[in-house]
Amino acid sequence: MTAPDSELTIDPEALRLRAEKALRTARDRTHTLTTCVDEHDLTAQHSPLMSPLVWDLAHIGNQEEQWLLRAVGGGDALRPEIDSIYDAFAHPRAERPTLPLLAPAEARGYVHEVRGRVLDILERIELRGAPLVDAGFAFGMIAQHEQQHDETMLITHQLRRGPAALTAPPPPAPEDGAALPDEVLIPGGPFTMGTSSEPWALDNERPAHHRLVPAFHIDTAPVTNGAYERFIADGGYTEPRWWSADGWAYIQEHGIAAPLFWRREGGQWLRRRFGVTEPVPPEEPVVHVSWYEADAYARWAGRRLPAEEEWEKAARHDPESRRSRRYPWGDDDPTPEHANLGQRHLRPAAAGSYPRGASPLGVRQLIGDVWEWTSSDFLPYPGFRAFPYREYSEVFFGPAHKVLRGGSFAVAEVACRGTFRNWDLPVRRQIFSGFRTARDAS
């Protein structure tokens, strides 16, 4: 085994430019998501599961003010009176429309003023000397935070009723997808999980540690709509034997019989995608399924969901060098040739896409396209330390939340890497979630 994690060395000025680019990229996306609809759509609550878009906008600015202007820059508060309004833990999403929210124009002015001051701080501050600023961590954390809320706002756009407000070209089609094997064998043995040196990794990704993982097989690509349709046609939603007790109770209570946004019409399955109704494409990874649905499909297929450590070993471990990479393809940052990220396409790419993004053993689409449910509960790694605040990860640890890995087409490059961990309740379906299956090698 190599030492846990390889060290990443970044020139200070290059780091400053990287932080500025990450912040500006996030803001450009926020602008797109909040200017493509009218004021009514910005202030309306399109689902009790989600905040009004204008809440997310001002929350982005408030977090940036608290962490970068006050904590890093040492400046006075601009709008201390709104801190409680935009505290995500103080107010559940369902009640946020009742709060005295900043109006759209005021929210835009606020986030613009905060950003101008932040860029001034970034230009002059030393990116070393304290944990919050070492390697530009706080700037990377805030860029990731904004991109995570951009993904949340994109989910709100998917839930929104009305004509399409967003457009994007389709992703490229794979040239060799039909020739790929159904699954890949991942040899047993130790590997390094997590990270201790990735500069902008968040607390739940740390520290790097060794895991011993027995050999297993994992799907070459995520489960497709076509495969999931066969599960439905075979009575998957009517056979309790495929479901956990909680899952069966949930789908019965809510009358669930297909992925969210699907409907049967004229002998075919249709889906609603960002204001457009279209036939369900059989070659794309299935999306908008809960953990319960993913688990039931895996049982029906005679397989199981991969454990989190299995997923990460498939994504990062290089058997030849015996080290863990940052990404399946290596240590370089993602490009459009590696993965479907950053809201470029507004849909998953066909299964088997992105050969340049494959892992050393040939597993594809481990980064981007759809978040992938794993069988694992969201738990801390050995040696975990909350930083810079408990509410990011620690308060969610436990069996109530399941881990998702890999990101989706809605995830930005800055908020997606081989160690990144997402988590949610097993009932969640509005998120851009899919899955792949696994089985023991023996």
Q: Determine if residue 93 is labeled as part of a ligand binding site.
A: yes
Instruction: Provide CB contacts within 8 A for 141, sequence distance 6+.
Output: 67, 200, 202, 388
Residue 351 has phi, psi (to 5 degrees) of -55, 135
40 is an annotated ligand-binding site residue:
no
Of 139, 78, 72, the closest CA to residue 107 belongs to 78
Q: List all residues 6 or more positions away from 187 whose beta carbon is below 8 Å from its beta carbon.
A: 215, 319
Question: Is residue 282 classed exposed, middle or buried when 0-12, 13-18 and 19+ CB atoms within 10 A define those classes?
Answer: middle
Determine if residue 96 is labeled as part of a ligand binding site: yes
Burial class from Cβ neighbours inside 10 Å (0-12, 13-18, 19+) for residue 92 reads exposed
C-alpha distances (whole Å) from 72 to each of 11, 58, 321, 391 are 20, 20, 39, 19
* 95 is annotated as contributing to ligand binding: yes
Residue 401, marked binder:
no
The answer to whether the annotation marks 338 as part of a ligand binding site is no
DSSP notation for 361-382: T-----SBSSEEEEEEEE-PPT
- 94 labeled part of a ligand binding site: yes
115, containing H or E segment: helix 104-124
24 is in an annotated binding site: no
Contact 263, 269 (CB under 8 A): yes
State the Cα–Cα distance between residues 260 and 62, nearest whole angstrom. Answer: 32
Tell whether residue 424 is among the known ligand binding residues: yes
Return the H-helix or E-strand segment holding 260.
none
Annotated binding-site positions? 59, 93-96, 145, 149, 424, 428
Return binding residues for gamma-L-glutamyl-L-cysteine: 93-96, 424, 428
Q: What are the binding residues for Fe cation?
A: 59, 145, 149
